[in-house]
A = this chain, B = another copy of it.
Amino acid sequence: MPDTTERRPYHHGNLRTDLLDAAERGLRAHGAERLSLRDLARDVGVSHAAPRRHFADRRALLDALAESGFVRLGERLRTAVNEIGDEGDLPARLHAFASAYVRFATENAALIGLMNSSKHRPGATAVAEAAAAAFGQISDLIQDGQERGELEGDDPEETGLVIYATVLGITSMLNSGMVEPARLEGLVGTAVTQFLRGARPAEPR
């Protein structure tokens, strides 16, 4: 009878990604606060000090998690907007953007909380860049609309920032329990239409 005790190799192979996966599961299950490096090490089947080779710090692990979150969020937003069609009307694309953001945020509540709360340590430019990339898309959208005359306004980045902030705020209120999930759809709807009403070019008298 062969030995059933699985003999793991000394080198795990891809500890880093496995740790991140386990971390994300833990995040989803118990929140970021009680996410312990030692626990993750146990989950992956590795000694308690092993993670240190890949993450200098608990904070570093969380930052990496946040960064990967921003990357995936960015992808989701991009595909959501693109699915509408390249020359689709702006309102639809805006709504798709906001809707996709909110969906991502509800499906990954703890992760989004981590992303926003993460006061990334001084050197962590990676997470900031990923966030900027995700956010930048809306500025492009706005600029597009302005160039085509569908929108009025001056600074596309500034207005984009405001929209992004609105959606972010909505999900934040949702995740902290200030508003019930059932109201989500309605909220993003009024937010987007409110914005569009405010940004449309003045009708000729």
Contact = CB atoms under 8 A, between A and B. Distances in A.
Nearest to A168: B169
A170 interface: yes
B190 A159 contact: yes
A178 B117 contact: no
A175 B169 CA distance: 13
A128 to B, nearest CB: 7
How often does this chain occur in the complex, in copies?
2
B161 A165 contact: no
Contacts of A172: 116, 165, 168-169, 172
A173 B164 contact: yes
Contacts of A165: 166-170, 172-173, 187, 191
A132 B180 CA distance: 13
A193 B31 CA distance: 37
Interface of A: 31, 113, 115-120, 128, 131-132, 135, 155, 158-159, 161-162, 164-170, 172-173, 175-179, 183, 186-187, 190-191, 193-199, 203, 205
Given A165-B172, A167-B169, A169-B169, 13 more contacts: A116-B172, A117-B117, A158-B183, A158-B190, A162-B191, A164-B173, A165-B167, A165-B170, A165-B173, A168-B169, A168-B173, A172-B172, A203-B203
